[in-house]
Amino acid sequence: MIMHNAELERISASLAQAGSAEEVFGTLVGSRDEQLEAAKRLFRQMAKAVHPDLFQERSDFDQAGAAFKKLVYFWEQAQTRIEHGTYGTAISTEEFVPFSMRTKKSHYAVERLLARGDISALYIAASLLDGAPIKCLLKIPVRPEDNDLLSNEARILTHLHVSQDYPGLHHFVSQLVDSFAYQEQASGILRQINILSYLDGFYSLKEVRQVYPQGVDPRHMAWIWRRLLVALGFAHSNNVIHGAVLPTHVLIHPRLHGVILIDWSYAVLAPSASGESISAISRDYRDWYPAEVFVREVPLPGLDIAMAARCMIDLLGGDYYTRAMPDSVPWQIQSHLKGCTLPNPRQRPQDARVLLADFDALIQRLWGGRTFQEFSMP
């Protein structure tokens, strides 16, 4: 018998439309302890209505699981924002007031808020480059405690910029335009700001998966995987491990078949010599990280390759965690991607360029000579 729960439907729909903890828990007043207690009461009320244990062996079990997982995410977000005193301070695009910044390099007229996450707020700005108008992306940390992540991103991108192969491969990675510290006049808070080139017409793999819930054709995955391996090969050859190859950090241009790896905040440089390890993770994607990250092992290039392969498994409509893929995906490709995600980091491929050559040989055997595959995003 098919059973439906009106409260589950209502809460699921509300969570699906929410973009922040504030949209779930509403306005909270009083001290931080009082705000936390009020949010906790709301969390418990909703959790009682959507907890998966209540829907065992029912048709809406998966719906309850998805709703509960999203509720927990927003609850954790609310706790973090209440703790840091930033709850309720998110600025909507309608309330945004344009402002400007001037640095030694240029003047930036900030036009609008593009997005706001737990770590950074992203703004679109206009500037000039060699006298020509350009669009830029301002990346500003929400909390000053995350200044080090943006400083690290600037360090890594500067290192890649001066590499010998940067001129030919720069379009595969974020391009740093400017980086500086900014002190807010009202609060006195110092924030590290990165200004990056703005990428028009690109979509994240997360957005692609939302449009193609059953997964993309393996031939489309193939060109994305090839170009992502080029980006990783460029980074690894310059002793950089990205450390967060996730669906939100891989951008594609459908028409031009471009691929760009962004958000280098978590990256490490020459870890075998420096001893650096991945010091922070994306909370939304905790399950995507291989086990060695959590025990702070010195990362190998295979870490990036494993996370990138999980992105491809997900893109194909598979399960990034179990590595299961639809039967429509040729077994050769399934085997190739599974081999990149082995639990033992030393058993995974470590050279992205060699892996690319192997994959090219594989798709040559499968489909013959490469042809341009038109791809579109509705």
- pLDDT above 70 as % of the chain: 96
Q: How many domains does the chain have?
A: 3
Residues 221 and 340 in one domain: yes
Span 284-291, average pLDDT: 93
253 bridge partner residues: 258
Compute the CA torsion angle 141, 147, 149, 151 (nearest 10 deg): 120
- Asked if residue 326 belongs to a domain, the reply is yes
309 SS3 class: helix
Closest CA to 314 of 332, 353, 350, 287: 287
Q: What pLDDT is stored for residue 377 in this prediction?
A: 87
What angle is formed at CA 217 by the lines to CA 258 and CA 311, rounded to 5 degrees?
60
Among 53, 83, 113, the domain boundary falls at: 83
Neighbours of 89 (CB within 10 A): 11
Average pLDDT, the chain: 90
User: Looking at the structure, do residues 38 and 170 belong to the same domain, yes or no?
Assistant: no
Could you please report the per-residue DSSP string of 342-375? -SSGGGS---HHHHHHHHHHHHHHHHSS------
How far apart CA 207 and CA 73 sit, in angstroms, is 19
Are the CB atoms for 250 and 228 separated by under 8 Å? yes
- State the angle between helix axes of 331-339 and 352-367 in degrees (0 to 180), rounded to the nearest 10: 170
Regarding whether 169 and 118 lie in a shared domain, the answer is yes
Most confidently modeled range among 17-26, 180-189, 329-338 = 329-338
* pLDDT tops 60 at residue 310: yes
- Using an 8 Å Cβ cutoff, are 242 and 305 in contact? no
Q: What is the 8-class DSSP label of residue 297?
A: P
Enumerate residues 6+ apart whose C-beta is below 8 A from 53: none
pLDDT digits (tens, 9 = 90+) for 33-71: 888 998 998 899 888 888 888 888 788 888 888 888 888
Over the stretch 9-24, which tens digit does the pLDDT of each residue have? 888 888 877 777 888 8
Identify the domain containing residue 148 by its residue range.
99-197
Q: Same domain for 307 and 277? A: yes
Please state, in angstroms and as integers, the Cα–Cα distance from residue 202 to each residue in 126, 138, 199, 210, 285, following that order.
19, 17, 6, 15, 21
What CA–CA distance (Å, rounded) separates 142 from 122? 10
| Terminal-to-terminal C-alpha distance of the chain | 37
Kindly report the pTM of this predicted structure: 0.75
In DSSP terms, 120 is beta-bridged to 141
Out of 197, 232, 251, a domain closes at 197
